[in-house]
Structure 1
Amino acid sequence: MLLDIPKIETIKTKSGCARIKRDYFNQRIKLVSFTGEIDDVMSQLIDLNKEGSIGKIFAVILKQEIPLYKERGFIIEAKVDQFLKGEAGYFVSRFLTTDRKISLHLPEEEEVLIISREYTKEDYIQPVYEKYTIRDAVIADAEELAVLYDGVFETYPSPMNDPEYIRYAMEHDVMFKVAEQDYQIVSAASADMDPLNNNAEMTDCATLKSHRGHGLMGRLIFELENELKHRNYKVLYSTARSISTGMNVVFAKHSYEYGGRLVNHCHICGQFENMNIWVKVLS
């Protein structure tokens, strides 16, 4: 059965059309691009939400477009340098419900951010393993990867517990690296590549609880970065759970810079959570 994967669709407006991604699981709409009047686009998007299943509309825009969106209730949540063909991309969001824009764990999240930033000047030392093998993932790993993600996350923003989705991702510009012990995959991470804009999202980071604390995720990020450098990607970014010290520290250690926080952006581990954006411009 083919999965309900958010894909770009085109909707008509009174003055033009808009390209959007409707994500029912995360209850959000991404406005990718549009022609015509933005007020007509917003009216159409609100109409799409008559059932109340969408709590957030967001877009990634250029600096000069910010006033246009702010006048229509959007706020700036994050910035990623060189995100749009070498120009900075600004993540702007409009919340459709009061609950969706309320952050419940801000004190704890600020503490995580403070701790993470203490690591930004550390030099990353690539660990050498005798018990683990680091390698590229292949299509045949999809079943085992699905088991890994299903065991690590109660819920996840994308259906990573479905091998069909993982195979689909591998065939659509998503590169996975894995760590295995005794031929069992115990840790994995991926790079979701955007060849048009030369950016890549470092994502799908998971390690079995019994294998944490060995620097496996840091090594996988390191390996993905090297591959992306060879492919001439310009900027890398990641969204890490704001409440998770471990993943925020991993990216801070690898010289990623904090770019902002996306409020209630993903449904992960059984609830909506804020996501910190970390950014690294490759030389």
Structure 2
Amino acid sequence: MVDIIENIKGSVIQHGSHNNRIYLMQLNTDDTHGLIATLDDMALKNGYGKIFAKISAPAWNSFKSADYIKEAVVPGFFTGKTDGFFISKYFSAGRQKAQNIEKLLRLVKQAGEKSANNIHRTGRATRDVVSCKPSDAEEMSVIYQQVFKSYPFPIQKPIYLKRIMKEGVLYFCIRIEGKIAAIAAVEIDLVSKNAEMTDFATLPKWRGMGFAGMLLRHMDKKTRKLGIKTAYTIARAASRGMNSVFKN
């Protein structure tokens, strides 16, 4: 099931049953209170368990008064000057309380430790990171079909990949013997000068070779050249592999 992306009063949201939540991706502050009320109504109507939002620090008080809580603070997230807040509002006690908290804390700790398996076992020529083109969309979609059983965005469809690449999302890959072994993307916000590193996927046979880290470092260099101040990703605590990439 693919989630829906909508523009509401100038703000961009993603919502659907895949994650059972609303994600406020971009806030238009012209009518913050009106948007908050609209999101509440949408969450209740659809039975979503959570609203997750990415906002700038000046907007925090409006959301705080509407029972949102801070999940994370990123210094200088917007243009390198204004802090960014990742905040949430829960509509069920079960959704708010993490299950197996001790296990999650252990996974987060382990993610900070360099993996002994992260050994580059192929020649340098096979580890070059290259840009993907719209003509690669078919092969890219096959990779995502093999790696993800489901995904909140339709990245398993070539037509979607072609569209977002034309809209400015940059995809990069590592090829082995001419075929894609690993892939990732960066969504750049040139106005806010931040970039989300996302859509990482490595075929099972090539895992443990550090390809995700190579892709991340390449994208980091790319975004720095474009004047990006902050690069980030959004990953669950249980995603040890992804957290390891960003912590190492």
TM-score bracket, normalised by the shorter chain, equals 0.7 to 0.9
Q: How many percent identity over aligned positions?
A: 27
Tell me, yes or no, if structure 1 residue 6 matches structure 2 residue 1.
no
Report the count of equivalent residues.
239
Tell me, yes or no, if structure 1 residue 97 matches structure 2 residue 89.
no
Q: Which of 174, 177, 188 is the matching residue for 1:193?
A: 188
SS at match of 2:172: strand
Counterpart position of 1:220: 215
| Residue 5 of structure 1, CA deviation | 5.1
SS at match of 1:94: strand
The root-mean-square deviation of aligned C-alpha atoms, in Å, is 2.6
Q: Which of 109, 134, 141 is the matching residue for 2:136?
A: 141
Tell me, yes or no, if structure 1 residue 78 matches structure 2 residue 72.
yes
Paired residues of 1:144 and 1:185 also in contact (CA < 8 A): yes
AA in 2 matched with 1:66:
W
| Residue 41 of structure 1, CA deviation | 3.5
| Residue 160 of structure 1, CA deviation | 1.3
SS at match of 1:239: coil
Counterpart position of 1:52: 46
Paired residues of 2:29 and 2:59 also in contact (CA < 8 A): no
Give 5+ residue unaligned stretches, structure 2. 115-119
| Residue 116 of structure 1, CA deviation | 2.5
**Structure 1 residues 102-111 or 27-36, which shifts more?**
27-36
Runs of 4+ residues deviating >6 angstroms = none
Give 5+ residue unaligned stretches, structure 1. 11-17, 120-124, 254-283
AA in 2 matched with 1:186:
A
Counterpart position of 1:276: none
Counterpart position of 1:21: 13
Q: Which has the higher helix share?
A: 2
Paired residues of 2:144 and 2:201 also in contact (CA < 8 A): yes
| Residue 132 of structure 1, CA deviation | 4.2
SS at match of 1:47: helix
AA in 2 matched with 1:8:
N
Paired residues of 1:173 and 1:194 also in contact (CA < 8 A): no
SS at match of 1:166: helix
AA in 1 matched with 2:55:
I
Counterpart position of 1:184: 179
TM-score by length of 1: 0.75
Counterpart position of 1:160: 155
| Residue 32 of structure 1, CA deviation | 1.5
AA in 2 matched with 1:90:
F
Matches within 5 A, 1:109-148: 109-119=104-114, 129-148=124-143
TM-score by length of 2: 0.85
Counterpart position of 1:277: none
| Residue 53 of structure 1, CA deviation | 4.0
| Residue 208 of structure 1, CA deviation | 0.5
